[in-house]
């Protein structure tokens, strides 16, 4: 304002300078030029504005124009107050701009990545009574409705929270019109869908959900969900309420104020019914003598943190048995809105609907009858009451029976039970004792048989090894045995020959004695034996014979032998020869002594 006053003063000075009484026209002209220049500079200084690159110029009209209508905040027809127009970056000139308007520079609004901008309009048409959020902008008008306040106000833009949001990026907004709050992007991970609860009746453009503003917003009829018993308030996409279709996996800029996003797990989930009971055991112990003894003990089975519920206690043949089981369940994307609308979520389905159904069906099946092969008639199927050991032996039949009964019930709640599998049933150990002892005895019998076979094989192997180690001696022994057998045969043959010889000699002597007489034959035999003895002696001692022959000349009778008629010639000859040999031996001994 100061610049404007001085500018007008200098402008007046320029206009009336010629009336000053001066004789010098050049002075008058110079004064007018200087005053005019100063006036232009002073007035121009309040007539332009420079807007920076990341700034937006906002007008607030102070002078001129009429007042805004009641309830209006932004002027569109030159009224005083905040203006609908804004200044973009650069140099802007308007006469007396900074006098008529209060110009403010505002920073552009930046929406970071993975965020969205929630818009709140300060001016516009009031919302209808049935609205909590303004109608979404038409895509063809989106730019004008957000960035041009005049367009927004002239095209029935609604005051208050908006359904349309700002996506990440830089936005040059009229802050007289908009307030912006940041929100997080909606990310639907793998294995999930998003069930949308809408607070607005509007057109939709979310990934696989695209539709214009629906005309018919009546609730979906219950009978459209075949096989489902629960009543659900589902609505078409775009209407207010829980939409009949779910939003698929992805990243979306969803106005979390206008839409409530409920993430729903559509992966196969495992519900375990486990723990919460005492389990008893009877251990069988075998000592070195093969005697089986029993030892009883028990333990508490706790409920795991992630278990759906404790183990189900069933009664079979009057025995209470804690039965652990696992249920594999899944909700299809098409059923997710139904489950959310009817129950609230998978946890609520588990706690309020399916767990009671599972417990009831399991107890009914295990306490009822079972269709299994007849033990007494192979190939024949019979229905009989369920036995305790069926929980182990025929568990597949029981599991299938439970699945057949429970699947239709679960589908009524929009949940598909894929399978039911038993865990390890806590059968009373007394019922298993006889079976276990029989099995153990059979195993011991097999073990003892195998041990005996192993021992026999070991003995055979050791024997073979020892035989191999003594092989050379065994060969020698076999050779000796065969040699002794041959020697025995030879001696037997030699004896037989000697026997035959003696037999022949005896026979010859007998015949000889018959001819010569027995005495003569005896004497003849003696002579033969003497000659044989001499021959053998000389054969072994040839030096004696040699010595005797070399001294033959010395044979001079030294003794006189008288032969009487009482003795025969053979006796005398034997005496002479014996004396000769005796004297010869004495001489030999004498010579040997002299040599020494």
Q: Is 475 exposed, middle or buried (0-12, 13-18, 19+ CB in 10 A)?
A: exposed
**Same structural domain, 262 and 365:** no
- Residue 493 in domain: no
- pLDDT of res. 328: 94
Number of folded domains that form the chain = 4
The SS3 assignment for 168 reads: coil
Burial pattern 269-296, b for ≥16 Cβ within 10 A else e, equals bebbbbbbbebeeeeeeeeeeeeeeeee
In this structure, the answer to whether residues 239 and 288 fall within a common structural domain is no
Together in a domain, 536 and 401: no
Q: Is residue 308 part of a domain?
A: yes
Same domain, 422 and 280: yes
- Of 397, 427, 457, the residue that ends a domain is 427
Q: Are residues 131 and 258 in the same domain?
A: yes
- Select from 362, 348, 337 the least CA-distant residue to 228: 337
Any domain includes 328:
yes
* Same domain? 158 vs 171: yes
Token pair of 22, please?
């001066």
Q: What is the CATH number of the domain that holds 421?
A: 3.30.479.30
| Residue 161 burial by Cβ neighbours in a 10 Å radius (0-12, 13-18, 19+) | buried
Q: What is the pLDDT of residue 333?
A: 92
Q: Which of 374, 392, 427 is the last residue of a domain?
A: 427
Q: How many CA atoms lie within 13 A of 332 on its CB side?
A: 10
CB 180 within 8 A of CB 119: yes
Same domain, 293 and 209: no
User: Given this model, what pLDDT does residue 585 score?
Assistant: 57
Last residue of a domain, one of 427, 449, 465: 427
Judgement on whether residues 111 and 198 belong to the same structural domain of the protein? yes
Residue 285 placed within a domain: yes
Residue 171 maps to a domain: yes
Judge whether 49 and 95 are in contact, CB under 8 Å. no
- Asked, for residue 489, whether it belongs to a domain, the answer is no
Q: In the chain, which stretches have pLDDT less than 50?
A: 222-227, 569-570, 596
pLDDT for position 225: 43
Q: What is the pLDDT of residue 226?
A: 43
Residues 380 and 355 in one domain: yes
Do 259 and 274 fall within a single domain? no
> Sign of dihedral through CA atoms 252, 164, 162, 181?
positive
CB neighbour list of residue 487: distance below 8 Å, 6 or more residues apart = none
Q: Which of 422, 440, 439 is nearest to 321 (CA)?
A: 422
Q: Is residue 288 part of a domain?
A: yes
Say if 509 falls within a structural domain: no
Q: What is the pLDDT of residues 145-192, one digit of tens each?
A: 999 999 999 999 999 999 999 999 999 999 999 999 999 999 999 999
pLDDT at residue 501 in the model: 75
Please state, in angstroms and rounded to a whole number, the distance separating the CA atoms of residues 159 and 181: 16
Q: Looking at the structure, do residues 309 and 402 belong to the same domain, yes or no? A: yes
Give dist(CA 253, CA 473) in Å, integer. Answer: 100
The domain containing residue 188 runs over which residues? 107-269
Q: 264 and 275: one domain?
A: no
């Amino acid at each position: 304002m100061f610049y404007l006053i001085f500018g007008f003063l200098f402008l007046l000075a320029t206009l009336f300078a010629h009336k000053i009484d001066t004789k010098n026209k050049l002075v008058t002209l110079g004064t007018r030029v200087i005053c005019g220049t100063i006036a232009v500079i002073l007035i121009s200084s309040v007539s332009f504005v420079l807007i920076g690159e990341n700034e937006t110029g906002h007008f607030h009209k102070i002078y001129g124009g009429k007042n805004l209508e009641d309830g209006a905040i932004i002027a569109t027809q030159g009224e005083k107050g905040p203006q609908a127009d804004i200044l973009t970056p650069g140099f802007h000139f308007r006469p007396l701009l900074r006098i008529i308007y209060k110009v403010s520079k505002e920073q552009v609004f930046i929406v970071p990545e993975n965020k969205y901008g929630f818009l709140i309009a300060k001016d516009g048409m009031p919302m209808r009574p049935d609205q909590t959020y303004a109608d979404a902008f038409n895509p063809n008008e989106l730019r004008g409705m957000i960035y041009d306040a005049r367009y927004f106000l002239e095209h029935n833009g609604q005051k208050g929270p908006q359904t349309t949001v700002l996506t990440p990026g830089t936005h040059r907004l009229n802050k007289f019109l908009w307030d912006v709050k940041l929100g997080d992007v909606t990310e639907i991970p793998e294995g999930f869908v998003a069930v949308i609860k809408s607070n607005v009746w509007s057109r939709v453009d979310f990934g696989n959900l695209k539709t214009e503003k629906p005309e018919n917003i009546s609730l979906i009829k219950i009978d459209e969900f075949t096989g489902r018993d629960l009543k659900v308030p589902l609505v078409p996409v775009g209407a207010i309420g829980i939409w009949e279709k779910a939003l698929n996996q992805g990243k979306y800029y969803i106005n979390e104020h206008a839409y409530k996003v409920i993430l729903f797990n559509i992966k196969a989930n495992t519900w375990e019914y486990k723990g919460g009971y005492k389990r008893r055991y009877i251990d069988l112990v075998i000592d070195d003598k093969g005697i089986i003894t029993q030892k009883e003990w028990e333990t508490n089975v706790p409920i795991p943190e992630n278990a759906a519920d404790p183990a189900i206690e069933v009664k079979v043949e009057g025995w209470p048995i804690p039965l652990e089981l696992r249920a594999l369940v899944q909700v299809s994307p098409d059923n997710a809105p139904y489950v959310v609308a009817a129950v609230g979520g998978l946890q609520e389905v588990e706690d309020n609907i399916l767990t009671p159904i599972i417990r009831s069906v399991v107890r009914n099946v295990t306490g009822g009858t079972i269709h299994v092969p007849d033990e007494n008639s192979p190939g024949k199927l019979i229905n009989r009451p369920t036995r305790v050991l069926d929980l182990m032996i025929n568990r597949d039949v029981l599991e299938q029976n439970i699945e057949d009964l429970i699947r239709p019930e679960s589908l009524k709640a929009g949940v598909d039970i894929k399978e039911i599998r038993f865990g390890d049933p806590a059968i009373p150990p007394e019922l298993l004792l006889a079976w276990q002892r029989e099995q153990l005895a059979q195993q011991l019998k097999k073990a003892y048989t195998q041990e005996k076979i192993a021992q026999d094989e070991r003995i055979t192997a050791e024997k073979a090894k020892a035989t191999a180690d003594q092989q050379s001696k065994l060969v020698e022994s076999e050779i000796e045995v065969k040699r002794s057998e041959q020697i025995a045969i030879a001696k037997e043959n030699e004896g037989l020959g000697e026997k035959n010889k003696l037999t022949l000699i005896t026979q010859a002597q007998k015949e000889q004695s018959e001819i010569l007489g027995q005495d003569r034959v005896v004497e003849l035999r003696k002579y033969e034996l003497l000659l044989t003895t001499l021959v053998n002696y000389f054969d072994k001692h040839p030096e004696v014979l040699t010595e005797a022959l070399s001294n033959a000349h010395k044979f001079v009778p030294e003794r006189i032998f008288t032969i009487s008629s009482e003795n025969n010639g053979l006796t005398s000859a034997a005496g002479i020869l014996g004396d000769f040999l005796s004297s010869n031996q004495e001489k030999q001994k004498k010579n040997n002594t002299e040599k020494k």
